[in-house]
Amino acid sequence: MKRTYSQLYIQFVFSVKYRRHLLILNDRNLHKYINGIVVRLNCKILAINNMADHIHILISKRPDISEAELMQKIKANSSRWLKKYLNCSEFEWQRGYSAFSYSQSRLAAVKKYIRNQQEHHKNTTYRDEMIRYFQKFEIPYTEEDLEGFLPCD
């Protein structure tokens, strides 16, 4: 083949450092800003939504950018912007992130899930949500790993 053909769908989930409730719920300005970062990387956001302490982004990505590079660019640039936008000089994203891949046939369900975050989290904690993801995707984890999904006092 003369070209590379791919269709890679990744849902990223990451949180505010110490799980502080600093984000505005379903913040369209934050979503637009992150979309600009993603578009500049020649990728596409298919769904995005956030709670006060974490965010979900479904991205169609190209194969020549790693998940780690994509997250580094999104988190670094949005963190600088959020410090100004929220007038919160100590804003930081938590160091790690979760990434889950999906097939084309699952996209509608994943988009709906992301759009309905506020409703979903009325009954489910972030920690329980991540445990379900780890189990569904057969990702081994320990109780120590889950400490990052608990809010700090």
What pLDDT was estimated at residue 151?
Answer: 59
Q: Tokens in use for 41?
A: 């990387």
User: Domain residue spans in the chain?
Assistant: 8-149
- How far is 48 from 96, CA to CA, in rounded Å? 18
Q: Are 93 and 79 in contact (CB under 8 A)?
A: yes
Helix (H) or strand (E) holding 114: helix 107-115
Q: Are 78 and 65 in contact (CB under 8 A)?
A: no
What class is the 8-149 domain?
A: alpha beta
What pLDDT was estimated at residue 41?
Answer: 97
Q: Tokens in use for 27?
A: 């913040």
Question: Considering the entire predicted model, what is its pTM?
Answer: 0.91
What pLDDT was estimated at residue 153?
Answer: 46
What pLDDT was estimated at residue 148?
Answer: 67
DSSP, collapsed to helix, strand or coil, labels residue 116 as coil
What pLDDT was estimated at residue 6?
Answer: 85
Q: Could you give the angle at which helices 67-85 and 28-40 cross, rounded to 10 degrees?
A: 140
Residues of the chain with pLDDT under 70: 148-153
What pLDDT was estimated at residue 133?
Answer: 93
